[in-house]
Amino acid sequence: MRRATIKDVAVAAGVSRSTASRALTGRGYVATDVRERVLAAAENLRYVPDATARYLKQQVSLSLGVLVSDLRNSFYARLAAGVGQAARSQGYSLVLAEDGGSAEAQVEAAETFVATRVAGVVVTPVSADVTTYLFRHRIPVVEIDRQFAAGECDAVVVDNQGASQRVIEHLVGLGHRRIALFIDETTWTTGRERHAGYQAALAAAGIALDPDLVVSSGWDVDAARAAARTLLGPDERPTAVFAANNVLAEGVWRAASDLGLTIPDDVSLVSFDDAPWMSLVTPGLTAVAQDEAALGETAVRRLLERIAEPDAAPVTVMVSTRIVHRASTRTITA
C-alpha cells in the first residue's frame, strides 16, 4: 500500500488540505470537532508527516544530531539517551551517530548531519575538526563532556579537575601516599583536567609526584588490564589507584583479580565515572558519578537557545558531580 498523504487525510475527514494541516500541526484555529475528526482520520490512515517536505516548505528542521564516541561505553550510551529524552520532550527527533573516537569518522558523521538538515548537533568531540565543519555549514553545535572550541562554541562539561582533586584528597585522608593514576590521554580537556586535579591534590598534601605512578593505558579494557598487571606487581606496588574513566577502572579491577589481589585489602580503587557494574560487584566500587541525563538535558536546552539566538556569546555550562562512596577503599597506616 502507498503511504498516506495529507491530501488523503483531508479527503477522509471531509475538510480542505489547509484545514487538515492546521489540525495536525496545531498552528492556527480549527474547531475542536473538526480537529478530532482530522486526527481520527490520520490515525486510521496511519499518516506520518513528511519531514523533508515540511523542511522544504518551512525551512525549519525538527531533528537534532547527536554524535558520541562509543555506544558500548555506558557513559556515552546514557549520555545519548539523556539527549534523546530531552529532544523528544521539545518535539525534536534524534539522528544518532557513533565515531569510535576517530576525528575522520566525526567529520563523516557531520556531513550526514548537514545532508539531513538537522537543526543542530550535540557532540563529544575528539578534535576541533567536527565543530569547524559544522560551523562552516551554519549548523549550531554544543560540545559536551570535552571541549575543543572553548570560547567559540557552547559547551556542557563537568568540573573534572575539582572532582579528581577531591578523590585524591579522600585517598590521602585515608593514609595513602603511593597513589597511581590510570589515564587514557592528557591532550583532551577531560584527561588534562583530571591529571591536573591529581597533581594539585598531591602537591597540597606535600607528596612528590612519581612519574612511574602515572600510567597512560589507552582506550580499552584489555590495554588497561595489561598495564595494570605490570603496575600492580610485587615491586613498589601503589596502595591506591585512581582510574580516570570507567573503562580503565574495569581494566584495573580485572588485573587485580588476575594477580590474586583483593580490593581494598591489597589495593584501593576509585573510578571517574560510575558505571552500572560498579554497584553490582563485591566490594562496590567508589566512583565519581556524572549525571548523564542532566548533561544531555542541559546540552539540548543550550542548543535550542543557540538556535533561537544564533548571535549570542558562547556559553560553557558546568554540571556538578558527586563521589559515590562504596567499599573499594580502606584506611592504611604508615
Half-sphere exposure of 203 (CA within 13 A, CB side): 7
Looking at domain 6-58, its CATH architecture is: Orthogonal Bundle (1.10)
> What pLDDT is recorded for position 152?
94
Which H or E run includes 301?
Answer: helix 292-308
User: What is this structure's pTM?
Assistant: 0.81
Pairing of strands 316-319, 179-183: unpaired
> What pLDDT is recorded for position 59?
54
Residues of the chain with pLDDT under 70: 1, 50-60, 334
Looking at domain 63-158+291-319, its CATH architecture is: 3-Layer(aba) Sandwich (3.40)
Instruction: Break the chain into its structural domains and give their ranges.
Output: 6-58, 63-158+291-319, 160-290
Backbone angles phi, psi at 191, to 5 degrees: -65, -40
Q: Is 3.40.190.10 the CATH classification of the domain at 160-290?
A: no
C-alpha cell of 302? Answer: 543550550
**Cis peptide bond N-terminal to 310, omega within 30:** no
> What pLDDT is recorded for position 21?
87
Domains 6-58 and 63-158+291-319 share a fold: no
Task: Give the separation between CA 304 and CA 300, rounded to whole angstroms.
Answer: 6
Cα dist from 225 to 49, 247, 257, 269, whole Å: 50, 10, 10, 14
> What pLDDT is recorded for position 218?
74
> What pLDDT is recorded for position 236?
85
> What pLDDT is recorded for position 186?
87
C-alpha cell of 272? Answer: 571517574
SS3 143: strand
> What pLDDT is recorded for position 234?
80
Please enumerate in sequence order all residues whose Cβ is within 8 A of that of 186, keeping only pairs 6 or more positions apart, or say none: 192, 195, 216
